[in-house]
Amino acid sequence: MSANGVRVLFIGGLGRSGSTLIDRVLGQTPGVCSVGELVFLWERGLLANERCGCGEPFDGCPFWKEVGVRAFGGWDRIDPAAILARQGRVDRNRYVPAMLVPAVAPAYRRRLEPYAEAVGRLYKAVAAVAGAALVVDSSKHASTAALLRHVPGIDARIVQLVRDPHGVAWSWSKTVERPDATDGVSLMARVGPARIAARWQSYNALLALVRSSGGVLRYEDFVDRPEHATRRLLALGGLAVDALPQFTGPRTVALDVDHTVAGNPLRFRTGELQIRADDEWRRAMPRARRLLVSTLAFPSTVRYRYAP
Ligand SMILES: [Zn+2]
């Protein structure tokens, strides 16, 4: 914990930009605890009892059990459905302007404060239980990033993760099974390329405002030089490290178990992992679709140096 509170490195960006991979690589650093997408703790962890990254259902994970005790005196002392409802009333992109102004409107502040207080307790408990100097949260949403300004007892840094919108759109068009559910089969959401391209543009414009002095990381740069990018992110999180023992080669990492709340299926992976660019779209995406994405994702494509 720094003088300003628990250090949190928040990864912002649109889904399918590589955030789970980067979150996992960061999480293997001594002194760092990766929690995956903490924003889903109330819904997917406490209410749906989905699997933790360790493979246990949420209520069977010893790590999260201890976090619940530290934060609230036990999960049975809080009402997750009520907190989820409150989250839905404050953690929305339409409230980002309200969160960014110095004087938050009183009516909104009354809704925001109790929720932000609960989130603050969570981060503090995670850092204490894990014995971590830095908590990595890959919740991604711009509104969740903006909300961190109002969370007491934390020192949050935001990195905006961007990936070529063609790759993002291609990934959203595929069918992927979710191993998270503890009852039956479920699939990750599929969304068409036009909607994804438009969303890519608006999310990135919003995140650029929210991150203020934080950093930008291109997924492609991470894949190209993962160790260099990892060091940069840790420095942004205020953590100076000498060795990164997770790198067993220039593009190879060894993954241990992380107690992640949500994320893509990679969060369950352990053992050696090759980091390589997921660029199937370059060969497989039809030209017309590619142009459609380029058009709708403009002008952030220029800002983040992506060719049409
Ligand atoms: Zn766990």
DSSP assignment of 173-229: TS--EE---SSS-EE-----HHHHHHHHHHHHHHHHHHTTTSEEEEHHHHHHSHHHH
User: How far does the centroid of ligand 1 lie from the alpha carbon of residue 101, in Å?
Assistant: 37
Determine the distance separating the centroid of ligand 1 and the alpha carbon of 184, expressed in angstroms.
Answer: 20
Q: Can you tell me the distance from the alpha carbon of 214 to that of 208, in angstroms, rounded to the nearest whole number?
A: 9
pLDDT, tens digit, for every residue of 204-243? Answer: 999 999 998 789 999 999 999 999 999 999 999 999 888 9
Q: Residue 52 C-alpha to ligand 1 middle, in angstroms?
A: 5
Distance from the alpha carbon of residue 228 to the mean position of ligand 1, in angstroms:
29
- Give strand pairing partners of 140: 12
Distance 31 CA to ligand 1 centre (A): 17
Ligand 1 center to 65 CA (angstroms):
9
Per-residue pLDDT band at 142 (split at 50, 70, 90): very high
CA–centroid distance, 62 to ligand 1, in Å, is 6
Residue among 6, 24, 237, 11 nearest 141 (CA): 11
Which pLDDT score, from 0 to 100, does residue 50 have? 96
Pairing of the two strands 177-178 and 32-34: unpaired
Ligand 1 centroid to residue 126 C-alpha, Å: 12
Q: Which two tokens stand for residue 171?
A: 């990934």
Cα 12 to ligand 1 centre (Å): 23
Is pLDDT of 184 > 80?
A: no
| Residues 154/5, Cβ–Cβ less than 8 Å | yes
User: 185 pLDDT band (50/70/90 cuts)?
Assistant: confident
Q: Report whether pLDDT(119) > 80.
A: yes
How much is the pLDDT for 1?
58
Distance 84 CA to ligand 1 centre (A): 21
Q: Are 34 and 23 in contact (CB under 8 A)?
A: yes
The percent of residues above 90 in pLDDT, for the chain, comes to: 87
Tokens of 100: 């960014």
Q: Are 226 and 253 in contact (CB under 8 A)?
A: yes
Interval between CA 76 and ligand 1 midpoint (Å): 18
Compute the distance from residue 265 Cα to the ligand 1 centre, in Å.
15
Asked whether 98 and 108 are in contact (CB, 8 A), the reply is yes
Measured in Å, residue 60 CA sits from the centre of ligand 1 at 8
Rounded to the nearest whole angstrom, what is the distance from the C-alpha of residue 261 to the centroid of ligand 1? 8
Instruction: Determine whether 187 is exposed, middle or buried from the number of CB atoms within 10 Å of its CB (0-12, 13-18, 19+).
Output: exposed
CA–centroid distance, residue 41 to ligand 1 (Å): 12
Q: What are 258-285's pLDDT values in tens digits?
A: 999 999 899 999 999 999 998 999 999 9
| CA of 32 relative to ligand 1 center, distance in Å | 15
The alpha carbon of 46 and the centre of ligand 1 are apart by a number of angstroms equal to 13
Give the number of other CB atoms < 10 A from CB of residue 28.
18
Ligand 1 centroid, distance to 23 Cα (angstroms):
15
> Long-range contacts made by residues 54-59, C-beta under 8 angstroms, separation at least 24?
54/257, 54/258, 54/259, 55/257, 55/268, 57/182, 58/261
Find the 25 Cα to ligand 1 centroid distance in Å.
Answer: 17
Average of per-residue pLDDT values in the chain = 94
Could you tell me the distance, in angstroms and rounded to a whole number, from the CA of residue 186 to the centre of ligand 1?
Answer: 20
3-state DSSP assignment of residue 124: helix
Residue 139 CA to ligand 1 center (angstroms) comes to 17
